[in-house]
Amino acid sequence: MEKLRLKFSKHGPIRFLGHLDVMRYVQKAIRRAEIDIKYSEGLSPHQILSFAQPLSVGSTTDGDYIDMTVNSLESPEAVMNALNEVMNEGIVIIAVTALPEKCVNAMTSVAAAEYLISFREGKAPNFNLEATMKAFMEQPEIPAIKKTKNGEKTIDIKPLIFKYEILDDKIHLLLSAGSANNLKAALFIESLYNFAGEEMQEFAAVFHRVETYLAGEDEKGHYVQPMIPEKLYDFSFAAPGKAEMGKIYV
Amino acid sequence: MNEKLALSDEILLSIGKPERYVGGEVNSVIKNLSDVKIRFAFCFPDVYEIGMSHLGIQILYGMFNEYEDVWCERVYSPWDDLDKIMREKNIPLFALESQDPVKNFDFLGFTLQYEMCYTNILQVLDLSGIALYSKDREENDPIVIGGGPCTYNPEPIADFFDIFYIGEGETRYRDLFDLYEKCKEEGISRKDFLKRVAQIPGMYVPSLYEINYNEDGTVSEIKPLEGAPAVIEKELCTDLSDAYYPMKPVMPFIKVTQDRAVIEVMRGCIRGCRFCQAGQLYRPLRERDVEKLKEYAMTLIKNTGYEEISLSSLSTSDYSKLNELLEFLIDYCNEHKVNISLPSLRIDAFSLDVMSKVQDVKKSSLTFAPEAGTQRMRNVINKGLTEEDILKGSHEAFVGGWNKVKLYFMLGLPGETTEDIEGIGDIANKIAVEYFETVPKEKRNGRTIEITASTSFFVPKPFTPFQWASMNTKEEFLEKANITRKGIMSQLNQKHIKYNWHEADASMLEGILARGDRKLSTVIYNVYKRGCIFDAWSEFFKNNIWMEELENAGLDPMFYVKRERTKDEILPWDMISCGVSKEFLWREWERSKQGVVSPNCRQACMGCGGANYGVGICFQPKTGV
């Protein structure tokens, strides 16, 4: 038995798939690829498979993760190749690694996610991104209205924004993620528009996930690190030269 | 990567289930435009989840795309949220694979599975920017062709179609495509092309038939023009085992109605239930070779990754090698973690054994379709199931641990009496009694018998012995549902019996359209123009508009519904033959009136005419009654 972590990208029309449909798609691909995945016991066995972080409909990604448990395998790379063989364009497995046996699953270990937010043609904000962003972040508290099951509540998102920069009219962000302190990129952008006093046009923002991170700690303090530190983009906060060993101290 | 989408991100993000419209599904086919001569848009005129569940399209889609010169793509009815946006913004309807407008295609094919989809045909034509009436189409518009069960009486929609393909699609499409390519090269006009199409067996070109009427509204004459054949004979796939079968079906991203691999075990049915249209249309029964089916099952599971497989046919219990097939599937599927979704099987020791292996007995239910409440009525409709069969099957199932039973009946069958209707409650009660007698209290473990009885309203269909019969009116139907309900309420075990019945308005309209004539095309056109689409969906169905437009057209619903037809009446669909003779159907109609049952095709031949195809059950030794 072995645990694997796979990193995937998602581009093109397939970005309109909802999270549950992506899961169903991957489950079927695993069966087509004849991967010896472990099934749960019981009357209706299901694959031991866990997705790190759901991605909202319409978004693209270069850094999403799946953990799976297999009974046997030739090599992690063979699993990746077999999967890529049977998937249609759109979703590509771009990296794979074996995990130590005692390892929390992808879902519970996520600590941060990196995004690029751009704007659809003709729908860019009227306010100056650079200056507004600066003033926005200088607030002692950053209020955002979070919609929950029990209605709306105002939360302070400042501690959930780890890093930011403006990159060619795009907002580059490292946000807290995971089951405990998740900040959706959509909520961030809404809050920024509110601060600027501007009404956001419908579907103005385009969300792209660059990377998903795990938490860690060493003598220098708390940091986050890509779930598999491979194939990082130059602009990524964890890119070589920007952060030592892909570690970003937060 | 194909980034091209017909709809903008803004639209896709503002409508429900954008995955319905973006294509790109696993096993969908993309071709190079310069390599193909014919572009075929294949439409199931209902929402994606329904259309993608249909096996017929998967077969023809795969078969067409095996042809090098043809690229077949899929089209479904945009759901009403997108429908509104497309009209507002003048966005032409597109095919899923290429995302190109349907109007640029060579063919637009519709599969016609039920009458209540007729306004959706007009929706698809309209959104595509194609003239609704065949006569108004331009030279370069796609050729609009229909196939499927509703084409056996296509008259109500005849004016909207250029061609109807009568019969199974496997046989004649290649001929049609060859002719199309030839005519295109020769620069032959649309009209002349259609004249030539009429010479291909199985092709009904409705514009080449003049229909005249008597003063009472019945058909006086069906006049073929320009050398079109007087009768179009159904096309039949004579070698099912060697016929094309899709090993790489297109797999939807979203959950659809039939979300599983399907193997079609046979076509046709030996039973001859007198209300059943499919039982006549697909005669004679032809089985697929069991070794082929095993191979298909393995390949499909491998190619799709589906975690469920089902068997498809009209009456799977009648498949001669069913034991062998199921035993194989149970082993194979167990090993590959695939569920078997069983069709409703005749309940006996064998099927109960199979069911206990593949289902959770506590959750699953037994299904019986007695269709009528008394033996007398079941003899009238030639439904072989007896009360004894039901009680014996129930008994064995209760011993095996089942406690849920579903019963299906029809109301409004020809010659039905109050006693027949009250029989529905009786039989449900007897099943409950059987349960209490079979399972002692201490073995019930807090569970008890749960019976669900459902009734639908009988709609007479063309090419059945009941095609001449009178159909009940809405008032009669509702009265009968009420008698059924009271009959159930009066039973000793009534609190264990749940009763459901169908809506009567929709059944009435289905009855009008099923046996309707060409005069109805104006009505369909007018109700569509007044906003009717998705009539098969109760939340969209607007019965009052239909009734108003029938009246505006001077048509009496009772003429189509209530009127019993005479033997010598020319029926609107008399230019079509499904291989079963009118004489045979009339004999069966007479026998039904006398309550005489007819043997099934395995027992004895009743001379329906199906043997003319030279294949299948007709040429196997008979067992006798």
B14 CB within 8 Å of a chain A CB: yes
Tokens matching residue B36? 């193909």
pLDDT tens, residue by residue, A170-222: 999 999 998 888 999 999 999 999 999 999 998 999 999 999 999 888 898 89
Task: With beta carbons under 8 A apart, name residues in chain B contacting A18.
Answer: 19, 254
Q: What is the mean pLDDT of residues B79-102?
A: 98
CA B601/CA B604 separation, integer angstroms: 5
Taking an 8 Å cut-off on Cβ atoms, the answer to whether B23 and A31 are in contact is no
Taking an 8 Å cut-off on Cβ atoms, the answer to whether A12 and B337 are in contact is no
**From the candidate CATH numbers 3.30.70.580, 3.40.250.10, 3.40.720.10, 3.40.50.720, the one assigned to the domain spanning A2-103:** 3.30.70.580
Q: Where are the alpha helices (H) located in B234-348, listed in sequence order?
A: 278-281, 290-304, 322-335
Closest CB from A13, A32, A45 relative to B22: A13
CA A238/CA A223 separation, integer angstroms: 11
| pLDDT at residue B471, rounded to an integer | 98
Taking an 8 Å cut-off on Cβ atoms, the answer to whether A16 and B337 are in contact is no
Taking an 8 Å cut-off on Cβ atoms, the answer to whether B26 and A88 are in contact is yes
Question: Computed over its alpha carbons, how large is the radius of gyration of chain B?
Answer: 25
Q: What is the mean pLDDT of residues B42-59?
A: 97
pLDDT tens, residue by residue, B441-475: 998 888 999 999 999 999 999 999 999 999 999 99
Q: What is the mean pLDDT of residues B590-597?
A: 96
Taking an 8 Å cut-off on Cβ atoms, the answer to whether A203 and B22 are in contact is no
B30 CB within 8 Å of a chain A CB: no
CA A99/CA A67 separation, integer angstroms: 9
Rounded to a whole number of angstroms, the distance from the CA of B439 to the nearest CA of chain A is: 25
CB-CB contact of B382 with B425 (8 Å): no
* E strands present in chain A: 2-10, 49-51, 60-70, 91-99, 110-119, 143-148, 151-156, 161-167, 170-176, 205-218, 221-226, 248-249
Tokens matching residue B612? 């003319």
| pLDDT at residue B162, rounded to an integer | 98
Q: What is the mean pLDDT of residues B96-114?
A: 98
Taking an 8 Å cut-off on Cβ atoms, the answer to whether A27 and B307 are in contact is yes
Of A100-104, B9-13, B256-260, B434-438, least confident by mean pLDDT is A100-104
Closest CB from A87, A89, A203 relative to B13: A203
| pLDDT at residue A108, rounded to an integer | 79
CA A5/CA B119 separation, integer angstroms: 50
Chain B 235-264, residues with CB within 8 Å of chain A CB atoms: 251, 253-255
Closest CB from B19, B28, B251 relative to A28: B251
Task: With beta carbons under 8 A apart, name residues in chain B contacting A57.
Answer: 13, 18
Output the CA–CA distances (angstroms, integers) from residue B110 to B149, B315, B341, B502, B553, in the order listed: 11, 26, 28, 27, 26
| pLDDT at residue A150, rounded to an integer | 83
Which chain A residues have any C-beta within 8 angstroms of a chain B C-beta? 11-14, 16-18, 21, 24-25, 27-32, 34, 39, 43-45, 57-58, 86-90, 120, 202-203, 206
| pLDDT at residue B618, rounded to an integer | 97
Taking an 8 Å cut-off on Cβ atoms, the answer to whether A32 and B305 are in contact is yes
Tokens matching residue B256? 């659809």
B363 CB within 8 Å of a chain A CB: no
**Distance in angstroms between the alpha carbons of the first and the last residue of chain A:** 35
Task: With beta carbons under 8 A apart, name residues in chain A contacting B1.
Answer: 11-12, 89-90
pLDDT tens, residue by residue, B224-241: 999 999 999 999 999 999
Closest CB from B3, B14, B28 relative to A12: B3
| pLDDT at residue B1, rounded to an integer | 52
Domain boundaries, chain A: 2-103, 109-249
CA A195/CA A188 separation, integer angstroms: 11
Tokens matching residue A209? 């996930």
Task: With beta carbons under 8 A apart, name residues in chain A contacting B28.
Answer: 88
Q: List b or e across B479-509, with b for residues whose CB sees 16 or more CB atoms inside 10 angstroms.
A: ebbebbbebbeebebbebbebebbebbbbbb
CB-CB contact of B566 with B467 (8 Å): no
Tokens matching residue B195? 């004249």
Taking an 8 Å cut-off on Cβ atoms, the answer to whether B251 and A29 are in contact is no
pLDDT tens, residue by residue, B291-313: 999 999 999 999 999 999 999 99
Closest CB from A17, A27, A87 relative to B19: A17
Task: With beta carbons under 8 A apart, name residues in chain B contacting A39.
Answer: 337
Taking an 8 Å cut-off on Cβ atoms, the answer to whether A13 and B303 are in contact is no
In chain B, whose CA is at the least distance from the CA of A45? B337
What H or E segment, with its residue span, contains residue B497?
strand B497-501
What H or E segment, with its residue span, contains residue B410?
strand B404-411
In chain B, whose CA is at the least distance from the CA of A88? B26
B332 CB within 8 Å of a chain A CB: no
From B386, B390, B422, B392, select the one nearest B407 (Cα to Cα): B390
Helices (H) and strands (E) in chain B, counts: 20, 19
Taking an 8 Å cut-off on Cβ atoms, the answer to whether B5 and A24 are in contact is no
Residue B473 is given by DSSP the state P
Rounded to a whole number of angstroms, the distance from the CA of A22 to the nearest CA of chain B is: 8
**Residue found under tokens 């004894």:** B388
Task: With beta carbons under 8 A apart, name residues in chain B contacting A25.
Answer: 26, 253
What's the whole-number average pLDDT of chain B? 96
Closest CB from B9, B301, B360 relative to A58: B9
CA B474/CA A175 separation, integer angstroms: 62
B335 CB within 8 Å of a chain A CB: no
Taking an 8 Å cut-off on Cβ atoms, the answer to whether A14 and B360 are in contact is no
Tell me how many residue pairs between chain A and chain B have CB atoms under 8 A apart: 79
Parallel, antiparallel, or unpaired: how do β-strands B38-44 and B107-111 relate?
A: parallel
CA B395/CA B295 separation, integer angstroms: 36
CA B252/CA B248 separation, integer angstroms: 12
- pLDDT, averaged per 10 consecutive residues of chain A (250 residues), comes to 94 93 95 95 86 92 95 96 92 94 78 96 93 95 88 92 94 93 94 94 94 91 89 85 83
pLDDT tens, residue by residue, B414-424: 999 999 999 99
The residues pairing with B224 across neighbouring beta strands, listed in sequence order, are B209
- The dihedral of CA A9, B98, B174, B581: what is its sign? positive
Say what the ipTM of the complex is. Answer: 0.92
What H or E segment, with its residue span, contains residue B287?
strand B286-287
**Distance in angstroms between the alpha carbons of the first and the last residue of chain B:** 62
CA B283/CA B265 separation, integer angstroms: 15
Taking an 8 Å cut-off on Cβ atoms, the answer to whether B305 and A31 are in contact is yes
B334 CB within 8 Å of a chain A CB: no
Taking an 8 Å cut-off on Cβ atoms, the answer to whether B305 and A12 are in contact is no
